[in-house]
Chain A
């Protein structure tokens, strides 16, 4: 299954990307060491300035009036009473910002304030700024909005069955936003060769990021005509673009976006938001700084979190459990807007092939518009739901065939240095090592299926699952040929090294990663390096902190900039002391002659010498991911410079009478390529386990379907932190974490992703563990206690021992996906193009 010659690729990769992935651990001074984060001391002192911690003289406070209707036309807005209130300084409505925006170029379907139609409860309609926050609230209550209600669309079935009323006048048809149909290989042959096939239906309920910090922004349009906005955003560059679009004719070069450190993001701060654009416009209107800080309830309305996804999967396997074909359908409840939904749809079909070799693969995905808060990316973006389905289905297959599920996974591993059926290029691949670690650590072989009883009569079970995730998306979200990441270094005679980069630290430690890498290359203490990030006026463009792209992409850019700086310094020093530059070693804050280590000077002296010889020192580095192998339409979602791998074993204790269960222990192994800092990497792994357990056991973004005066209103069931249950310190189990290092040639020092991948296997592993304990299947996430109970009751009554959506085809919406794009796999001699794509063929002819 290897498309190209690995040896040739190795050589090519070395030329293209000198990322030192082959360095051994003991050659490295800072990389891999448990150095504290560069901002750790500020964070434990309460000195880190989040967006809502900022104030300015004469600052106004802004509030948004949000729709109380799920779907309605706006007939009239009367703001006269609000205007008359003392302290009110500015009011905006939809007509003030008529240009639509959206994160993806293909779905520019949002307005800063709804001009004529509201699409979910929470859609913003009016913005009011006042001298006090409370006055702005009071003023919002004085606004009268006359709505003409429209029929609501509540979910994927309803959206599939009702073309009218349309939420948007774009998309495939009716309320179908996207339809994708991609077929790789020969499905008929794949299923013919299968000794066993099974079909299952799964549902994954939506859930939300719940970052501890509520979104906040402070905008200031100064008297020189320049706009600055400080905001809790993961993507200052995309916010910059959205502001330039909506605030036109204000030129982009007069807009400055500063992303404050994010108090948690998890994907929830990666869209440009209404409140950000309104704050900017309000500052332009009033000539005063404007602050907006969302309440917790508003954060739930903003959402753009995990899509609810209904899935149907048909799998064919040989007698020994080798996968011969996979036919996967996903139906995404997108909510009211596009957001990242186009990418989310593709992601529900992209990464199934990266963990296990799938010879023949057919993916059909549909995304629908519904009258609920828009969905988008949350940690694991779009790959979490299908991973749940696939890993539970594999467990069922193993059970059908009487094979150990761990062994079955090992037998199906996608080969390293290969290209998958859907043209994703795998580099290093440590999933096998991950599985072996958790199997050994958990005592899997001895303890699985033993139904050990606890002292209080609960039954123990073990479940296994695996996953993979991207180290950044291979393509930018808007087509362009520019780098994805840029880094600039400035050095001077004081020994100062300042790094400028557009990336945003959302708590994952990306600022520190930059310091560690540059410190390693220049041989200086990473804590001495000044890191200036996420300021569009000062820092080179980086696309943002999403899709786990920062370590690999900005890391490689930082490495290039640092190597160029080292070259300049070495050249200067070499001239001065008459030693060839190639003999100079940078370490311990000094520069040495490798052959004569007594010839040495401090880094500061070396920079001074270079500055005298070569002038002011500044270097840049940039990074663009390798070209993707996929050339078919839709092949832009899924490619990545490298893939991380995770395997987990989860232990549960289930009460067989009530279905109530606990998770006392988790073993997790994650192939990170190379841990730039194992302690910080472990924090990402443990945080992923935690968030995965929240999703598995309790978290859900569910809606109440209520009628009010004959109209349905979809109200978020639980828009508060008390009722949106998330695990507290008491629920966090013991974890054994294994950091597996299988260096990848595309990553700085071989590093790959860590922040998202380890979340994915938790939910299916919990479901599989519940089955191991009490023999019932919950094919729906969250695997809440009442669902386990319902399945136990079904089992007791002689029915199918399962809880989930209707197991046959009646459980899924009837949608005509049209003809599939047919793509030959690499092993069929394919070249990554579709044989029947009229769109692409026409383009090629031109």
Chain B
């Protein structure tokens, strides 16, 4: 068996250049995790079925397990590591953390990248808009409800509203 030659390329990830040598059949997911040590992006199936590996390419959420790394060269890639600003969490992360939107946390990076893209397009998403945007991100822990509530709260806060979670979402009915 002859090894194919590695490609040397520079990726723009979270606004920083990363020069990496990788085999041309590797997916963006593999190159992010294995060559750039950015393990924040997870894998749940590597077949495009679960959404755990969602990242943004040019602002659009994509399944990084289905994108060849060579196709992402020269494009702006954004991962969960790029959401926070210094030590401050983005409002979406903050609301997810405070409302219990992350239980095991394994689907969370993918959910965040999908939700972040939604909020960029739609500052006032309805519950149905959120469900539609997250339809490709499986979560086995939360039943999605705390995720929906966190996204709604984050959206309100990002609009500058002084929003608080409802009493029912914290203490029950």
B40 at the interface (CB under 8 A from A): yes
A508 at the interface (CB under 8 A from B): yes
Binds B, one of A368-376, A480-488, A731-739: A731-739
Chain A's closest residue to B83 (CB) is: A45
B63 at the interface (CB under 8 A from A): no
B31 at the interface (CB under 8 A from A): no
| Chain A residues positioned under 8 Å from B143 (CB to CB) | 683, 686-691, 732, 735
The CA of A262 and the CA of B79, in the complex, are separated in Å by 21
Binds A, one of B5-13, B69-77, B134-142, B155-163: B134-142
What's the nearest-Cβ distance from chain A to residue B4, in Å? 11
| Chain B residues positioned under 8 Å from A42 (CB to CB) | 105
Chain A's closest residue to B38 (CB) is: A46
Main SS at interface, chain B: loop
A441 at the interface (CB under 8 A from B): yes
B41 at the interface (CB under 8 A from A): yes
Determine if B49 and A720 form an interchain contact, defined as CB atoms under 8 angstroms apart: yes
B93 at the interface (CB under 8 A from A): yes
B102 at the interface (CB under 8 A from A): yes
Determine if A263 and B45 form an interchain contact, defined as CB atoms under 8 angstroms apart: no
A162 at the interface (CB under 8 A from B): no
Contacts A212-B107, A507-B103, A687-B103 given; does A678 touch B42 at CB 8 Å = no
What's the nearest-Cβ distance from chain B to residue A720, in Å? 6
Determine if B39 and A46 form an interchain contact, defined as CB atoms under 8 angstroms apart: yes
The CA of A563 and the CA of B81, in the complex, are separated in Å by 40
What's the nearest-Cβ distance from chain A to residue B64, in Å? 13
Give A38-58 interface residues, CB cut-off 8 Å to B.
Answer: 39-50, 52-53, 55
Determine if A721 and B102 form an interchain contact, defined as CB atoms under 8 angstroms apart: no
Give B93-134 interface residues, CB cut-off 8 Å to A.
Answer: 93-94, 96-109, 112, 130-132, 134
Residue from A264, A720, A736 within 8 A of B45 (CB atoms) = A720
Interface flags for A673-716 (1: CB within 8 Å of B; 0: not) read 00000111011001111110000000000000000000000000
What's the nearest-Cβ distance from chain A to residue B85, in Å? 12
B36 at the interface (CB under 8 A from A): no
Determine if A678 and B106 form an interchain contact, defined as CB atoms under 8 angstroms apart: no
Contacts A43-B102, A138-B1, A679-B100 given; does A729 touch B130 at CB 8 Å = yes
Residue from A683, A720, A739 within 8 A of B142 (CB atoms) = A683
Determine if A212 and B145 form an interchain contact, defined as CB atoms under 8 angstroms apart: no
| Chain A residues positioned under 8 Å from B141 (CB to CB) | 212, 264, 507, 683, 687
Chain A residues close to B by CB (< 8 Å): 34, 36-37, 39-50, 52-53, 55, 138, 209-214, 261-266, 295-296, 441, 506-509, 678-680, 682-683, 686-691, 720-722, 726, 728-730, 732, 735-739
Contacts A43-B102, A212-B104, A264-B104 given; does A296 touch B47 at CB 8 Å = yes
Determine if A295 and B46 form an interchain contact, defined as CB atoms under 8 angstroms apart: yes
| Chain A residues positioned under 8 Å from B131 (CB to CB) | 729-730, 732
Determine if B46 and A296 form an interchain contact, defined as CB atoms under 8 angstroms apart: yes
What's the nearest-Cβ distance from chain B to residue A231, in Å? 15
Residue from B39, B40, B101, B170 within 8 A of A678 (CB atoms) = B170
| Chain B residues positioned under 8 Å from A212 (CB to CB) | 42, 44, 50, 52, 104, 106-107, 138-141
Residue from B37, B100, B135 within 8 A of A730 (CB atoms) = B135
What's the nearest-Cβ distance from chain A to residue B164, in Å? 11
Most buried by B among A49, A213, A736: A213
Number of A-B contacts (CB under 8 A): 194
| Chain A residues positioned under 8 Å from B138 (CB to CB) | 212, 721, 726, 728
A–B complex contacts, Cβ < 8 Å, 24 sampled: A40-B96, A41-B97, A44-B94, A44-B96, A45-B83, A46-B79, A47-B40, A49-B39, A213-B44, A213-B104, A263-B104, A506-B104, A508-B103, A679-B99, A683-B103, A686-B145, A690-B140, A726-B140, A728-B135, A729-B137, A729-B144, A732-B131, A732-B145, A737-B173
Determine if A729 and B134 form an interchain contact, defined as CB atoms under 8 angstroms apart: yes
* A-B pairs with lowest CB-CB distance, top 5: A46-B40, A507-B104, A263-B106, A43-B105, A690-B143
What's the nearest-Cβ distance from chain A to residue B48, in Å? 8
| Chain A residues positioned under 8 Å from B136 (CB to CB) | 728
Determine if B105 and A44 form an interchain contact, defined as CB atoms under 8 angstroms apart: yes
Contacts A47-B40, A50-B42 given; does A261 touch B103 at CB 8 Å = no
| Chain B residues positioned under 8 Å from A739 (CB to CB) | 171-172
Residue from A45, A210, A295, A732 within 8 A of B93 (CB atoms) = A45
Determine if B97 and A36 form an interchain contact, defined as CB atoms under 8 angstroms apart: yes
| Chain B residues positioned under 8 Å from A735 (CB to CB) | 143, 145
| Chain A residues positioned under 8 Å from B148 (CB to CB) | 729
What's the nearest-Cβ distance from chain B to residue A804, in Å? 28
B28 at the interface (CB under 8 A from A): no
B153 at the interface (CB under 8 A from A): no
The CA of A295 and the CA of B143, in the complex, are separated in Å by 24
What's the nearest-Cβ distance from chain B to residue A676, in Å? 13
The CA of A210 and the CA of B45, in the complex, are separated in Å by 11
| Chain B residues positioned under 8 Å from A689 (CB to CB) | 143
The CA of A730 and the CA of B109, in the complex, are separated in Å by 19
The CA of A739 and the CA of B173, in the complex, are separated in Å by 7
Contacts A48-B105, A212-B138 given; does A730 touch B132 at CB 8 Å = yes
Interface flags for B19-44 (1: CB within 8 Å of A; 0: not) read 00000000000000100011111111
Determine if B102 and A40 form an interchain contact, defined as CB atoms under 8 angstroms apart: yes
| Chain B residues positioned under 8 Å from A34 (CB to CB) | 98, 170-171
The CA of A842 and the CA of B79, in the complex, are separated in Å by 66
| Chain B residues positioned under 8 Å from A44 (CB to CB) | 89, 93-94, 96-97, 101-102, 105, 108, 112
